[in-house]
Amino acid sequence: MTRLALVTGGMGGIGTAICRQLADAGYQVATTYSRTGRQEQWLADATAAGYAFHAFECNVADYASCSAMAAALREKLGEVDILVNNAGITRDATFRKLSQPDWDAVMGTNLDSLFNVSKQFVDSMSERGWGRVINISSINGQKGQFGQTNYSAAKAGMHGFTMALAQEVARKGVTVNTISPGYIATEMVMAVPVEIRERIVGQIPVGRLGKPEEVASLIVWLASEMAGFVTGANIAINGGQHTG
């Protein structure tokens, strides 16, 4: 039986790497998108690279949208076995300048989404006796970051969600874990000015940015049978930048 994985926000740099490595590991893979039209080129590129992904429109910050996505996904593909809550945004500003809409947007996409999406699938995983929920947090949810009170709060909250849900479903064969990547060489990070990027790298003990594929490989392991004894954990993948 081929297990089905759903990756929210799978069309970004890390998300694409996650989708591809899960497919390489033998899983059927679906993802979500929020802007109609964007998915067409992404799916075309994936097809050209030999991947057969499925994409479903969804606003992860809206419960009704998540419910509709889940219904469409079930009708087409069946039950989700592995859920990767990867969707996220930033709206950076110092707290003095941070607006309520930017606070709400980040909380909705980065934290409320865990409830909105997980609620659609965790009960079914529990009933079937097997499941994996993997939440993508951030180093800044562990240590905080100047200008990111909204983002850091949301990402820290993700692991609180993980620890609590993990205890509720552990005996039902479902694991729930968080990973907290540091600075990864995505297109967004590589687009920042070289001097800023060099300053970031200078703070990383291994002396380089992480690779999206390194993050994805950790997720593939957490999704596997061999990770069945790992639950409620927050695994840092940041090159030694933060160890707390």
CA 153 → CA 86, 145, 158, 178, distances in Å?
Answer: 16, 10, 9, 15
Whether 197 contacts 158, CB under 8 Å:
no
Which two tokens mark 13? 């740099």
Other residues' Cβ atoms within 10 Å of the Cβ of residue 74:
15
CA 225 → CA 133, 134, 149, 167, distances in Å?
Answer: 13, 14, 36, 19
The residue from 27, 33, 151, 183 that is catalytic is 151
Q: What's the number of CA atoms in the CB half-sphere (13 Å) around residue 195?
A: 0
Whether 66 contacts 60, CB under 8 Å:
yes
Which two tokens mark 173? 């064969």
What are the strands, taking DSSP E only, across 26-130?
A: 28-33, 54-57, 82-85
Whether 91 contacts 110, CB under 8 Å:
no
Q: Does residue 151 have an active-site annotation? A: yes
Q: Hey, which residues are catalytic here?
A: 151
